[in-house]
Amino acid sequence: MCFAVVGVNHRNCPIEIREKVSFTRAKLVDCLHELRVEKNLQEVVILSTCNRSEIYIYEENIERAILKGIAFYQSHFVKGDITPYLYIRQGEEAVRHLFEVAAGLDSIVIGEDQILGQVKKAHEEAMSEHTSGKVLNKIFREAISTAKLIKSEVKISEHSLSISHIAVKFLKEKQETLRGKKVLVIGTGEMNELTIKYLLEENIGEIYVTNRTHTKTVELTEVYEGLIPVAYEERYEVLPQVDMVISATASPHIILQAKQMPSLTKKLDIMDIAMPRDIDPAINEMELVNVYDIDALKMIAEANNERRLELVIAAQKEIEKAIQKLMRWLEALSIEEVIHGLDAYCEDIKAHTTRFLGKKIISEEIDEEAMHMIMEEVLKRCIRTPIAKLMTTENLELRAQYAKTLSELFELN
């Protein structure tokens, strides 16, 4: 099967590598076009989140396409060798991987909601840029609809915790209590809006909020009563006043630099849940400061994930049912192309023969429509047996061999 995924994720790749292979919005669009046009891949979708960076490919010569995907990561992002961190999945294994990703089964927090929206957005982006076609559209739509089914029937998301929730729990452990504490939240996206909700549930003291676009900060303070807006340029000035910082922006650059950090007189815990990271790792070397990133949350996530194993098994059953149905469609795709090719082959012969007879036989008694019908019936009989054999062969490997042989013999490509 001509479908594969090449990428890295939180399971096998440290954050300092993951952030180097993440795609900003502008870079993602450029890379889609480069892979589709310059690398000449048939269909491509890129999924980039805080926990993963993946290139999904549909290509007839899938082995060659995989090598292009590996070379793309190597040349665009990392100076050293990235191959030890890359995983490659092909065929049904790649389909299963995507379904599990969309359902949140491959996330740090099992069943988390945010990944489904990210998968959907990645597919929509590829469709809008015309890099996802018939095959990837079908695979991604089935993965998304199955994830929605799991969410509504298995209800695994109702028992999950988001990265934002776990980050707040993590800081609560470090601070011993969040009641009356002061926190600076950097970024006003979906992840930090969830963070604010969880902080408010903990009876936090003061929540300062800043964002590069100040109007978004103001909009958020209008939704959540008591938030204190801070101009982005003044973010360093607030640090001595707060006990914690939680940062989650879409910035491709570091937004808190060690060289600009003010002097501190009390402990400061900084939680960086952005990808690429927002916080200069050198800040962790300062006295009184502890910097934590997404990977630091894994232990809490794993403890919570153990409670959802039964739901995971139920979700995987739904995934397997959907995959088997999709695989039948994908298996029939190659047959469908051969059948259409044989039909076109017959049409070409019929057209050529009609032109030939028209030149050689001049008679008003010839019924042209009847002649067409006779030729069509004869030609259909010629290909009826190979088509029937192709469609009824249950051995998938043999069926693929038949399809390839027919394509080559009749020059259908």
Task: Write out the catalytic residue numbers.
Answer: 50
Q: Which two tokens stand for residue 15?
A: 């954050």
Q: Which neighbouring-strand residues pair with 271?
A: 246, 292
Q: CA-to-CA distance for 270 and 192, rounded, in angstroms?
A: 14
DSSP code, position 295: G
CB of 353 closer than 8 Å to CB of 375: yes
3-state secondary structure 41-83: CCEEEEEECCCEEEEEEECCCHHHHHHHHHHHHHHHCCCCCCC
DSSP code, position 225: T
Q: CA-to-CA distance for 111 and 105, rounded, in angstroms?
A: 6
For CA atoms 360, 365, 369, 374, the dihedral sign is negative
CB of 107 closer than 8 Å to CB of 51: yes
Q: Which two tokens stand for residue 296?
A: 């630091």
Instruction: Write down the residue that tokens 């079908």 correspond to.
Output: 138
Whose CA is closest to 198, among 244, 154, 241, 234? 244
DSSP code, position 287: T
Q: CA-to-CA distance for 350 and 89, rounded, in angstroms?
A: 44
Chain center to CA of 125: 11
Instruction: Write down the residue that tokens 């590069």 correspond to.
Output: 212
Provide the b/e sequence for 246-265 (b: ≥16 CB within 10 Å): bbbbeeeebbbebeebeeee
Q: Which neighbouring-strand residues pair with 57?
A: 4, 44
